[in-house]
Each structure stands twice: as C-alpha cells, then as structure tokens.
Amino acid sequence: MDMKTDQGRLRLSADVGGTFTDVAAFDEPTGKLMLGKTLTTHQRLVTGIETGVDKAGATFPQAQLFLHGTTVAINTILERTGAACALLTTQGFRDIYEIGRVNRPEAYNLFFQKHKPLIDRDLRFDIRERVDAQGRVLIPLDERQVLDTVAEAVKKGIKAVAILFLHSYRNPNHEKRAKEIVEKAFPDLFVTASHELSQEYREYERTSTTAANAYVGPRVRTYLGEMDRHLGETGFTGTFLVVQSTGGLFDIEEAQQSCIRMLESGPAAGVIGSKVLCDQIGLKNAIAFDMGGTTAKAGVIYQGDVLMTGGQIVGGYASGLPLQIPMIDIQEVGTGGGSIARIEAGALRVGPESAGSSPGPVCYGLGGTEPTVTDCNLVLGRLAPDRFLGGEMKLDLDGASKAIEGKIGKPLDLGTLEAADGILRVAVTKMSHMVRWVTTERGLDAGDFAMVAYGGAGPLHAAMIARELRIGKLIIPFAPGHFSAYGMLFADLRRDLVNTWFKPFADVSFDEMEALYRAMEKAGAEDLARSRDMTVGTVSLRGADMRYVGQEHAVTVDIPMELFANKDRDGIKKLFDAVHETRYGYHNADEKAEIVSLRSATVGQMKKPEREKLADGGASAEAAFRGNRKVYFSGVGLVDTPTYDRAKLTAGNRIAGPALIEEHASTTVVHPQDKVEVDTFGNLHIEIGRA
C-alpha cells in the first residue's frame, strides 16, 4: 500500500484487558474491519498494543484516530499500587472517608471487613473553612493552613492531593482556591478537587471519588503521556482519545486530569457496540450481555438509549470503595468460564471462586484440578479439544471429564454428562438472575428485550439465559470476542455533568434552571472544543434526578429540550410520574415532586462510517459446514450436531438448531429449537424457540 494515500484512512482501537489486548482497525474508505488479539504485556502495555495492531494488519501512520480503553486505573485501585496522597477536607470531617456509611452488609459475620481508604489517616487533614447547604460561607478558607498542611505532607512523600469541602456542589470557591494555592506552590503534585468530578451531594461518596482520582492520577497521567509520546514515535499523527465509563470518549488532556472517569472503559465500550448494532438493525430494547473468564456483565439499552447510573462501588459491595460519577449501568456476577463447581454440605455450588487464567480450567492442562464451567462445555461437546482459539490451544477432554466425574458426578450420584449439564444450568440461572436484575431494578421486564451476547463465553451460554428469561431474540454480533475494541470505534465524544440542586419542583424558576443547564453545557462544550475537528455535530442532553417530596431515592428523568423551551412544568411532572410508574409500579399525579440534581450530557458526534457488507449467499450454509460432533443438550441428551465455520458464513444463511458456529475466539451454541439467520453485517440473529 502506498503510505501517502493510506495516511489517515484507519480508525484504530485498543482494549487492554487483564489477559488479552484486543485491537480493531477500521478502514473508513472500504468499511473493512480487521482484528487482532494478543496477550496483554503487563511490563510494557504498548508492546501488546503494537503486536495487536500488527496482527490486525494495520500500522499507526495509517490511522487518523486511536481510541483506547484501559484497565490501568481500575487495576491501580484493586491492586493498591497508587500514589501517596493527602486529603484536605472540611474541618470536622477528616474521618468521613473512613467512617463511610457505617453499614455491615455481612450482618452475621463477626469478621466482616469494611472498606479500606486509599489514604491513611495521618494524611487526611482538616482545613478550617465552612460553607452551608445553601452555599453561604460560614467560615472563610484558611489559606495559610492549606499551604502549611500540604508543605508538611510533601515532606512525607505525597505525590497527589485530593480536596473535598462540604457543599462544594453549591459553592466550589473554597475548593477552587485551595487547588490554586496547592498547584502554585507545588507544581509537580497531581491535584484534584471534588467539584471537578462530582457536583452531587453525599460527602463520603464524593470524598472516595476524589481520593481515588488522586490515587490513580500520577500513574494514569504518566501512562497516557508515555503512550502519547510512543504513538508520536510510530509516526501516528492523528488524535488520541480515551474511552470513559460512560462509553463516551475524552481527549487525553481531560483523561490525565479526570482519570477516574476511564475506570470501566472496556465493559462500557461493549455496551456502546451493542447500541450501535441495535441502531443498525433497528432494535430499541436490548440487553448487552458480556461473559468472560471470571465474570458476566449486563447493560441495558432501553428505547434506543444506553441506561446510565450515578455511580458504582469498586471492589464489591461489602468492602468496596464508592465512585460517584455517571457511567453506564453495568451489573456483574462472578460467573465465568473459569467458575469452579464444588460440593458443599451435599449441595452443588458454582462460583464465585474462579480458576482464572492461571491455573485455569482443568482442560487447559496448566495445573487446574477443580472442574469449571469451561470444562463442562468441553465435556458436553460444545467446545472442541482441537479447535480452541483456532486450534492454537489444545484442550484436555479426558482431564476435564475425570474432574467432573470425581468431584461432582459421583458425590451427587449423577453421570458425568448430567453433572456437567447441571453445573451449566446452575451457572446459567445465576447469570439469569443478574440479567433479570438489570431490568427489574428499573421496573422493566427482561422478556421485552432482545439480547446481544459477546465476550469469549457469551455466545456459549446466551441462548440458555435468553430461554430462562423468555427472551425471544438473541444476537451474536460479528467478532464477539473482540467486541469491546469494536464498540470503541463507534463511540462519541462525551462530557457528563451533574449538579445537585434541591428544589421543590412546583416553585422552580425555569430561568434559574436554564442558567444552570447552560453553565453545564458551556463547560461540556469547552471540554469538547479541543477535538472539534473530529466531530460532525454536538448534541446536548438534559435530565433531572427527581423524587416525590419526602422520598430519598430519586429517579433520573431524561427531559426533551422542548419542555424547557416551553417552560412546560406540567409536562416535566408528567414525565417524572411516568418514569416513577415504570420503575416503582405507582405514581401520584397530585403529589408534589422535587428536584435533587440536574444532569447534562454534551455529546460530540463522531462520523459513523459504514461497515462493509457480507456477500449475499442465500439460505444454505453448506459452504461453512465443517462436520458433525456429538453435543449434549439438557432434556435431550447427546445429539449429532453440525458445526459451521463462522468466517465462511454469508448473508442470508439460515441454520436450524442444534448447531455450533465456531470462530477464532468463541463458539455459538444453537439449541435444538432455535433458528439462526446471518445478516448483511455478519451478525447472527437467533430466534429462541419456545419449549
């Protein structure tokens, strides 16, 4: 290829996960998608990305855009390898980070361990200042104390400072001033103030968010700086953007400041990929289901929009650290291919213990001895010993069989196949409860949704989960094993802002509200301005967290712009009533509502190039057929099952279950009553038969 004409034709993305680095390269002029999967190189992550780009058959100079999803931020928290930080907080609230919400989720466990702050108590400091809930200054900021305190902390070796003052969502001036003072005196420190990340009430959650940002900040800043420099060295002249937990992109200048916003970039990109797929094929409601080696995750697309949440807890509900920033609402359950099955007091249990990737399932032959979900798939014939990862890795069928027989089958008096099938059914119901949860928690019914399933293990189990939840339509996207990298290619630039503003809705001044939204939209637009040449347009979205007066939990109501333009108080109230009805099963038109927070999202829409289409090949999938294999199905037993090579399927192909559709990084199981059709983009549409 001619380098000159190739320049700037590619859109590149890299999703660096714990085990694999996935690269997707999209050739804009032809719509061709190229993929590369390689092991993550933890010593130097750039090396893995380069290998992946190479495997995909692409080069950096060809790219005009490099989109990156990384686990560097979340791993820094989970592995506790972040920077020494100081926390400056309102006098009297030094311990709020440690006190937290005082809950004991493991109510009968005398050995319960609550969250451990990322900053030790000797580096958490009270600063004389106080603002009240209306934003009025009661005690002015003691600027001298700020300076002296940080100077002392610097002597103890801190690299970052987190600042949280009470009610900074109403009046951020003290935080701003304190940050200015610290940055001026200590330009090498990473300094972050809570109002930059969250302008929502709840001081503990905001403290935890700000502390986490300070904790990961120096490392993420260095990582992105090095990556940027390295990209320059490879001849890349395009734009480098990072994926946020909202599924939106931000530029590296922002990413190096609000590091915590990239925490869940990989999983978020998968949901964005699902949304793009839904848009393409005209689906309004879908559950995005992602299953890998240790966990299964689910997000929701409802009425064409990805459902978001205001925060999450990193490291598990009982002992984790809360983050209060908008992100895609993704639920997770500890069930994956590596989940271990065991007998406990005569009962069958599956997970959450996982064999992970090392030693991994018994069939990997790397020393694993406990039967896992992957071992069951092998024993049941759903995975082939000689076709795993395109045959790159041989699987030990005999070892898997013996483990299942010895550890589960015999103790429960079940045959090996029945035992393997039972383990799978238990794993599937656990995942089904999680998937159901993402819908019922919002008052929705999973049965009204289609499911998009991806991740290495997603296509193996999705049909069983769909059947369990009475989901009729299942879609296995093109390249399900690289789906997060693929999703990134279609992300938009995005800035989410939230501002807590407690107001009885009946008395709200539309002018005042408009001014607050405008301020957020201005800030959002400014963030996006640096990448303006990448976008084809900007859209502002508005919402509000509302509740009936007296309630605690608020619901987020997405509000169309015209309701603001018309100052339509009744219209907004009706919208809130409707959302409340959906979510909680009742509403009261006569009851007064109040506003808790205003939400704004500014979206810089990226060009969305079309993917190339598959050739039309008619109904017969004969060309992709690669022989029969015995596969076990629940309630049916062993069935001689045709297998197909997914790479050879063409648009319009139809396959009736039972069947297996195999590709490099995944296998799709088509159950006896199910039917598959291949669409023009290479997605598999599976109609789940009613038993």
Q: Is 366 in the site for another protein (CB under 8 A)?
A: no
CB 70 within 8 A of CB 18: no
Q: Is 98 in the site for another protein (CB under 8 A)?
A: yes
For residue 442, which of 309, 334, 598 has the smallest C-alpha distance? 309
Based on CB atoms, which residue is closest to another protein, 45 or 162?
A: 162
Q: Using CB under 8 A, pick the residue from 157, 282, 585, 635 that binds another protein.
A: 585
Residues 62-91 that bind another protein (CB under 8 A): 91
For residue 484, which of 675, 247, 303, 318 has the smallest C-alpha distance? 247
Binding piece for another protein, criterion CB under 8 A, among 185-193, 254-262, 348-356, 570-578: 348-356
CA–CA separation, 536 and 220 (whole Å): 29
Binding piece for another protein, criterion CB under 8 A, among 76-84, 289-297, 307-315, 343-351: 343-351
Q: Is 433 in the site for another protein (CB under 8 A)?
A: yes
Q: Is 157 in the site for another protein (CB under 8 A)?
A: no
For residue 597, which of 308, 245, 305, 177 has the smallest C-alpha distance? 308
Q: Is 155 in the site for another protein (CB under 8 A)?
A: no
Please work out the total of residues on this chain that contact another protein, with binding judged by CB under 8 A. 72
Q: Is 518 in the site for another protein (CB under 8 A)?
A: no
Q: Secondary structure of the chain: what % helix, strand, coil (to 5)?
A: 35, 30, 35
Q: Is 342 in the site for another protein (CB under 8 A)?
A: no
Q: Is 319 in the site for another protein (CB under 8 A)?
A: no
Other C-beta atoms within 10 Å of 609: how many?
15
CB 323 within 8 A of CB 263: yes
Other C-beta atoms within 10 Å of 361: how many?
32
Q: Is 6 in the site for another protein (CB under 8 A)?
A: no
- In the complex, the smallest distance separating the C-beta of residue 675 from another protein, rounded to whole angstroms, is 24
Based on CB atoms, which residue is closest to another protein, 139 or 389?
A: 139
Residue 97 sits at the vertex; the CA angle it makes with 91 and 103, to the nearest 5 degrees, is 125
CA–CA separation, 226 and 488 (whole Å): 21
Residues 389-408 that bind another protein (CB under 8 A): none
Q: Using CB under 8 A, pick the residue from 23, 45, 87, 96 that binds another protein.
A: 96
Q: Is 105 in the site for another protein (CB under 8 A)?
A: yes
Site mask, another protein, residues 106-125, x = CB under 8 A?
Answer: xxxxxxxxx-----xxx---
Q: Is 506 in the site for another protein (CB under 8 A)?
A: no
Residues 169-198 that bind another protein (CB under 8 A): 169
Based on CB atoms, which residue is closest to another protein, 24 or 435?
A: 435
334 three-class SS: coil
Both tokens of residue 656? 């009736």
For residue 355, which of 294, 399, 397, 401 has the smallest C-alpha distance? 294
Q: Is 313 in the site for another protein (CB under 8 A)?
A: no
Both tokens of residue 614? 């598959």
Parallel/antiparallel/unpaired status of strands 659-663 and 637-645: parallel
Based on CB atoms, which residue is closest to another protein, 22 or 205?
A: 205
Alpha helices in 81-172 (DSSP H): 96-99, 143-155
Q: Using CB under 8 A, pick the residue from 29, 31, 54, 99 that binds another protein.
A: 99
Based on CB atoms, which residue is closest to another protein, 333 or 383?
A: 333
- In the complex, the smallest distance separating the C-beta of residue 550 from another protein, rounded to whole angstroms, is 5
Greatest distance between any 2 Cα atoms in the chain: 79
CA–CA separation, 34 and 25 (whole Å): 5
Based on CB atoms, which residue is closest to another protein, 510 or 548?
A: 548
Q: Is 553 in the site for another protein (CB under 8 A)?
A: yes
What is the torsion angle, in degrees rounded to the nearest 10, for the CA atoms of residue 11, residue 17, residue 20 and residue 22?
-10
331 three-class SS: strand
- In the complex, the smallest distance separating the C-beta of residue 154 from another protein, rounded to whole angstroms, is 17
- Per DSSP, what are the bridge partners of residue 643? 660
Site mask, another protein, residues 465-504, x = CB under 8 A?
Answer: -------------------------------------x--
